[in-house]
Amino acid sequence: MAKRTQTSDRAGAPARCNRPVLVLLAGATDHRAVSPETHLLGLTLRQRAMRAARRAGYARTVIVGSAGSTSDRHIAGEGADGKEMFGRLIVAPTNALAEVSWLEAAENAEVPAGGWGHLPGRVVVVDAAAAEKAIKDLAEIGRLDVLEKRFAERLKKAGALPEAAAPMLIAGPDDLAQAHRRLLRALVKDTDGFMARHIHRPVSIAITARLAETPITPNQMSLVSAAFGLIGAPFFLSAAPIWQTLGALLFLWHSVLDGCDGELARLKFQESYWGGVLDFWGDNVVHIAIFACMGVGWALAIGAGWPLILGAAAVLGTIGSASIVYFRVMRKKDNQGPLYTSVGKGPSEGLTKLLDNASRRDFIYLVLGLSLFGKASWFLVLTAIGAPVYFFLLLIVAAREAGSSKVAQNDAEPACSKPSSSK
């Protein structure tokens, strides 16, 4: 039962790609604007801006304004030949809530060649061709409200940016509370199953919100989650409902905490490739241990050996499925994009979509329901059949994709790559 996770930070793109630069200006239009050093879910607004910009593929983040100015070189990129290289500038107030979504929208927004794009009081996008002159202006002005007044006519004629490029501005405690809720809501995944979305996720997000203010890392949470699952596995060696129920509750708690590591990683931009691998295999090791204990416990309860065959089928099917997903989708993932979002490499449709849906963790509630009556072994029957079938269907997906993935390599210069994400 493979689990979705998302990917690791990689080295930045080559300088020649002229990636955009995020420029945060002090003195936002609203004089009540909070300080860039204000904390929000474990990071200051400044740290959040820098990490979000890096995740969106920006070259760097620069803050200019009342606290000090900055030189051209601090804003501009520098090529291998030592010459200044100017990418697109995205200018926003320091109290803007940095999120990857609007940073990417601003990066990709259409603006006139050599011109500006504008959302009043929020974001100014300067085309790379006009960046060198804009950099001098920004270093001199250093305040967004002054910038708007000085270049009112130019901004009035500037191209209109999409609303998606408009960040939330934080002007006080009420806005901070709203930003807090906004960031936590964004942790819910579209791929969550019904039970995960309505039970798991609210609990895990509440825990993550508290963990964000601590030094606890996503990888530590992965280990804690796996520990709860492994502690629960031996309870299935018993046929007594009370012990099976305790094991199922620990299994359920493992699943809830299993969401915290990814949430914490996404919230604080601490994704890593190895963190994603730890998360993936930790989850599968817990499943293997529980299925094995179910088989042994059933065999002991009835004094027969055939339940061990069911346990072996469930364990081998799980190992085989996880191995296929890891070696095909995850092992060589060393560029941009998610570490693991689907069992297939192509679009999630047909058989691939069916297998993706089957990998969700809602099945844990069935384990809990059966354990209340001491019948966890019934679930083992389903898994002993389902896990090998899942494995063979993954082989079919792999064979189909191998036959249809004859894609010609692009010999042109590589496009700018963005740092990838994990968990």
Contact 341, 276 (CB under 8 A): no
Record the pTM.
0.81
Tokens of 40: 């929000």
Find the mean pLDDT for residues 41-45: 91
Point out which residues pair with 40 in neighbouring strands.
43
Domain end call among 143, 178, 213: 178
Tokens of 275: 């963190």
Pair (72, 216) in one structural domain: no
Residue 342 pLDDT: 66
Pair (109, 228) in one structural domain: no
Tell me whether residue 9 is in a domain.
no
Model confidence at 273, pLDDT cuts 50, 70, 90, reads confident
Find the mean pLDDT for residues 77-87: 53
Residue 162 pLDDT: 85
Query: What is the distance between the alpha carbons of residues 208 and 193, in angstroms, rounded to a whole number?
Result: 19
Pair (351, 261) in one structural domain: yes
Domain end call among 178, 211, 245: 178
Tell me whether residue 253 is in a domain.
yes
CA angle 259, 260, 265 (to 5 degrees): 110
Top-ranked range on mean pLDDT: pick from 16-30, 120-134, 165-179, 341-355: 165-179
**How many residues comprise the chain?**
423
Please say if the pLDDT value at position 77 is more than 80.
Answer: no
Contact 157, 104 (CB under 8 A): no
Contact 167, 122 (CB under 8 A): yes
Domain end call among 149, 178, 207: 178
Residue 334 pLDDT: 52
Residues near 147 by Cβ (< 8 Å), separated by ≥ 6? 25, 91, 124, 137, 138, 141
Please say if the pLDDT value at position 97 is more than 50.
Answer: yes
Tens of pLDDT, residue by residue over 180-217, are 999 999 998 877 777 778 888 999 999 999 999 999 99
Residue 271 pLDDT: 87
Tell me whether residue 413 is in a domain.
no
Find the mean pLDDT for residues 407-418: 49
Closest CA to 106 of 120, 118, 94, 93: 118
Pair (154, 289) in one structural domain: no
Model confidence at 410, pLDDT cuts 50, 70, 90, reads very low
For the chain, the average pLDDT equals 81
Pair (51, 153) in one structural domain: yes
Query: What is the distance between the alpha carbons of residues 172 and 157, in angstroms, rounded to a whole number?
Result: 31
Looking up residue 252, the CATH number of its domain turns out to be 1.20.120.1760
Tokens of 152: 């009112």
Residue 78 pLDDT: 47
Say which residue, 1 or 38, is predicted with more confidence: 38
Pair (37, 65) in one structural domain: yes
Burial code (b: 16+ CB inside 10 Å, e: under 16) for 259-272 equals bbbbbbbbbbbbbb
Tell me whether residue 239 is in a domain.
yes
Pair (206, 322) in one structural domain: yes
Instruction: Quote the number of domains for the chain.
Output: 2
Pair (244, 392) in one structural domain: yes
Q: What is the C-alpha radius of gyration for the chain, rounded to an integer number of angstroms?
A: 26
Query: Residue 386 belongs to what domain range?
Result: 198-404
Tell me whether residue 150 is in a domain.
yes
Q: Which long-range contacts (CB under 8 A, 24 or more apart) does 285-289 make?
A: 285/226, 285/230, 286/226, 286/229, 286/230, 286/233, 286/251, 286/254, 287/1, 287/318, 288/315, 288/318, 288/319, 289/229, 289/230, 289/233
Tokens of 259: 């969401």
E runs forming strands in 67-145: 77-78, 84-85, 89-93, 116-119, 123-126
Query: What is the distance between the alpha carbons of residues 226 and 283, in angstroms, rounded to a whole number?
Result: 6
Query: What is the distance between the alpha carbons of residues 375 and 311, in angstroms, rounded to a whole number?
Result: 15
Query: What is the distance between the alpha carbons of residues 230 and 235, in angstroms, rounded to a whole number?
Result: 10
Residues near 417 by Cβ (< 8 Å), separated by ≥ 6? 10, 13, 17, 57, 335, 336
Residues near 385 by Cβ (< 8 Å), separated by ≥ 6? 313
Pair (236, 302) in one structural domain: yes
Say which residue, 11 or 95, is predicted with more confidence: 95
Pair (363, 227) in one structural domain: yes
87: left (phi over 0), alpha (psi -120 to 50) or beta: beta
